[in-house]
Structure 1
């Protein structure tokens, strides 16, 4: 069986990989992401996932490499990871009392097989007070999350509805990854 490599240092993705019941190792990609502004959000999230996977695959060609990227989109505007607490506060104010879309892109690369795909979900946020936003930012959870929140952590208390795959929002759509990974491992 080919070695499986997760090209991510995300503790959430590492934990969710365990549910696939396969041995894997972690080799995080530190590639500088190149954002092509001409791409639609769906293509962009797949392209960013591919960049991360390829960064690791080029030196591990006998392995199966998985790369991921997650975007939060509201009003056609992408909310990435906030660069500081002020930007996190701005993001959370934008998300307050509204729906937004979360896209997770995945790329799976191995010899003779390359597959990129995305999944998406719609998330509804409650109306947040300034005090709630400030308290949440002090937890520091928002600082390394797309859209400045983690649905699997303290940020869950702000989510009033999800339409789609919960694991897309976490950044690892387990069912879709499992189905595609089976194909890659059979190459």
Structure 2
């Protein structure tokens, strides 16, 4: 049903999501500069990173397969929250998210030798009010260290989420509905 692809991501969550919808894939390791450009909007930033990862993967395997790249960011008040640098940075992020709604943006890019396709999905996520004890205990789990915005909705961080409007799988790291459509359209055009 799906074309075989290469996944340009080290995320175990993205691998699990592709397996969930039975996409045949191999992995390609890429390293791209994730610096935010001056004046770059969150949508432009996350979309650029997804395309850069897919392009780096395509270059690495010489376009032997279509390459899927993805990136996920957390945005509050138009400020991008990356992976926490340390416990203090994590605590600052959780205080910003506490009792509020924020956006999770996941961009997906699919690049082949002669064509490309991409999309960006925005999901609104609301957190309940967090206590200092909630924040400290969550840091001690180790889960927040490699997560955009400092939390994983699919893990223990899910207990903080009071409401979601949009794609749950996009918050995890790959919007399944949109990825399915990208891959189906790709297959039809091949």
Please classify the TM superposition score into its range, dividing by the shorter chain length: over 0.9
Maintained 8 Å contact 2:126/2:163: yes
Q: Alignment partner of 1:106: what SS?
A: strand
Candidates 50, 71, 75, aligned match of 1:69: 71
Maintained 8 Å contact 1:33/1:51: no
CA displacement at 1:182 relative to structure 2: 1.7
Asked whether 1:48 is paired with 2:49, we answer yes
Counterpart Cα distance in 1 of 2:40 and 2:186 = 26
Q: Alignment partner of 1:37: what SS?
A: coil
Q: In structure 1, what is the equivalent of residue 118 of structure 2?
A: 116
CA displacement at 1:123 relative to structure 2: 0.5
Maintained 8 Å contact 2:123/2:165: yes
Counterpart Cα distance in 2 of 1:83 and 1:105 = 23
CA displacement at 1:183 relative to structure 2: 2.0
Cα-Cα RMSD: 1.4
Q: Which structure 2 residues correspond to residues 1-187 of structure 1 after superposition, within 5 A?
A: 3-60=4-61, 61-186=63-188, 187=190
Maintained 8 Å contact 2:127/2:163: yes
Q: Which runs of 4+ in 1 moved over 4 A?
A: none
Q: TM-score, normalised by structure 2?
A: 0.93
CA displacement at 1:116 relative to structure 2: 2.0
